[in-house]
Structure 1
């Protein structure tokens, strides 16, 4: 080595530790995945830890260039997995990519996942084990009561939707009985306590762990359940109108109106923001990732429009009532066509990629939500508009009659469209059963409940026994389902198995990234 220059012998790092006099150097050919002898055509590759780092930039990219037939990516972050999937598709559009959000520390889920992979592709040809258990337990999120708070996801608001809808149906039953009203009052009290509990736990969650909010809002599935908050609140407002307003008079009407304004603003904000996040971020990069859960943000505004119609029906001031009707029509118009668009996309997803997994199979009932309450809303709005315009000279009363007739026809058409989705849902449940219990089971209750409400309203407006009987049957089925789901939810909550927020896996991964960066900086 020449000590008079700054140049080092390229083999100095070998010679320093060598215990032999001679060293040998040979040049190996580059391991280029595009070389024909390294082709992976026709092979199935499974990569754990494929969401970032070497798993993404090296392994996934290399096997895509080597023309692998299918690449299965396993990692905890669904967001990062979607980015890796996009990278593979950019490199080789012909490679099939399956992403599965999974914690490899969960032995049972790992076994179940590999069973599914074998059922779908056969035995994989290559396994890249690029993931390992985390070095440090995140006790801040996983110990004692903190685990319950940190895992208290927005999906718990769906319990208030189903409970509130059960109380509403007891009030709307076409075959009236005094006992039904007392049961409706009991459900109103229960739902109010439930909503306050869930809201309090949610506030506590984001107060203690503000970092969870960001990863939750970025999660392509968990964030959609934010829409269940204004919908659960709307059921409370509706029960207030049915139960409290007749007893407490004008101040209760004004209170209901004020609460509805808050709910309408929240619902419109959720619809606009979550829908924009869906189309602006890289969370959903393929048709296969579309689910009926995409309807949740849209349904929030549809529900607000229907409750607005009921609020307008009780307001003593005609100007306030007409303004509420107009705003409710606007809410209906900004959400129902969007729901129809999503239904078209969702049907295409089902036709191309077939039925969803057993874990999300209950979401097949969700199309009944916007169709059921959308029909209820437009019919009730037409009914209230006709009443208001008959008493006003500002607009020709004929406009109100036209609005009512159009509302009746649209409601009937939406009920009919919902009927075929109900058949699809029942057939899907039969075909896919059995399936595991989770918070998604609350998707049985509210969509079926609002569809029953629209059926009852059609029977009342057209004075047809057919719809009244169908509405009673659907209401009874929904209440029985509520009993089953509520019982299993109480059991699961008591044993702690339902307190699981998948979005926390994304947070853990970010924390591990920061730990790795800190370690590298120290090194």
Structure 2
């Protein structure tokens, strides 16, 4: 009887919450990591060099589903600020949850990229104007995250080297993701000057992000050498380091490919050719750096698996970094026409799809029971 009773409790929606309103009260930006992982899988499936019947339709369906997720999460998080303002603003003082503000513009970037991959073929060039508006919004949010969250770290939050994890990367990497999106969007603009403005802005965004991210990675290496691996609750964070490296490589490849025609159209043909060469070499070099981090992340994850890894929303950290590294690998395959990158990229996308299905299933189960709706920055407060 006790088992049956427990199964009924578990099957009831939001059984772990005292009231359905707690979904809003406990909602945090961590959820937007799901839109990053879902969006990057849709984009990666669409870029696969193999032609599988129905695969593009699946990718497009995932992208549309991701839009619905992003809108839902935006409504819930906005509602939290309206209904529980005093509790919501505590996030700025929290040393971990505040980092996840960066997931909001990065999730939006996957939707913008999807407008070009799926929206243009389906609805025509008219969606480019929408993508441009959303991109500038994404840029504004990325710049804000990249400056304000580190400022909060320096002035309001408590941090220590032994407690540091790769989540420090999340607010600063958003600008880099916006840079890669700008590289994809710039050739679709009709005006040559507008293309140059977007291309230049994207280079600035890339430089705004990558050196800071590499600085954090340097500290992270020291932290892990001195204090070993973080708590198993942060197991997925070992993959986050792959994000800025993969995105940085992808950004250089995409911006470099854009540079010759855009600079030439604005009377600077020589600069475009130089930028293309630098972009390719930088992309290959950063890809090699990313390969080291990926292999290290695999070994670290295997080490964690021996003792078990508790599920939390941080598991979405397994998906987006792997996704951008997959996209970079496939971009190198199409640029260099080397079968190794094509085969390896296809393998990475297959691994990404498997990981996405595992994490999605666990997320749906946890959300249904209500156990994932926990805001650490108000933990311990009376309801």
Q: TM-score, normalised by structure 2?
A: 0.93
Aligned-pair distance for 1:368? 0.7
The residue number in structure 2 matching 1:336 is 210
Please state which structure has a larger fraction of its residues in strand. Answer: 1
Aligned-pair distance for 1:253? 1.1
The residue number in structure 1 matching 2:9 is none
**Counterpart Cα distance in 1 of 2:78 and 2:156:** 26
**Counterpart Cα distance in 2 of 1:243 and 1:430:** 36
Q: 1:248 aligns with which of 120, 123, 126?
A: 123
Q: 1:169 aligns with which of 31, 40, 44?
A: 44
The CA RMSD over aligned residues, in Å, is 1.4
Mapping of residues 125-144 of structure 1, within 5 Å: 143-144=18-19
Matched, 1:192 2:30: no
Higher RCO (C-alpha under 8 Å, 6+ residues apart): 2
Alignment gaps of 5+ in structure 2: 1-16
- State the SS of the aligned residue for 1:380: helix
- State the SS of the aligned residue for 2:193: helix
Please state which structure has a larger fraction of its residues in helix. Answer: 2
Mapping of residues 387-466 of structure 1, within 5 Å: 387-392=261-266, 394-395=267-268, 397-433=269-305, 434-466=308-340
Give the conservation status (yes or no) of the 8 Å contact 2:176–2:248. Answer: yes
- State the SS of the aligned residue for 1:145: coil
**Counterpart Cα distance in 2 of 1:301 and 1:289:** 25
Q: Which runs of 4+ in 1 moved over 3 A?
A: none
Mapping of residues 206-217 of structure 1, within 5 Å: 206-217=81-92
Aligned-pair distance for 1:282? 4.3
Deviations 1:468-499 (A, max 9, x none): 11111001100110000001110111111111
Give the conservation status (yes or no) of the 8 Å contact 2:95–2:157. Answer: no
Aligned-pair distance for 1:450? 0.3
The residue number in structure 2 matching 1:486 is 360
Aligned-pair distance for 1:178? 4.7
The residue number in structure 1 matching 2:6 is none
The residue number in structure 1 matching 2:189 is 315
Aligned-pair distance for 1:460? 0.7
Q: TM-score, normalised by structure 1?
A: 0.68
The residue number in structure 2 matching 1:350 is 224
For these two proteins, the number of residue pairs brought into alignment is 365
Q: 2:113 aligns with which of 216, 235, 238?
A: 238
Alignment gaps of 5+ in structure 1: 1-141, 513-523
Structure 1 residues 165, 282: closer, same or farther in 2, change over 3 A? Answer: closer
- State the SS of the aligned residue for 2:54: helix
Mapping of residues 29-68 of structure 1, within 5 Å: none
**Counterpart Cα distance in 2 of 1:176 and 1:261:** 34
Q: Which has the larger radius of gyration?
A: 1
Aligned-pair distance for 1:288? 0.6
**Counterpart Cα distance in 2 of 1:400 and 1:464:** 24
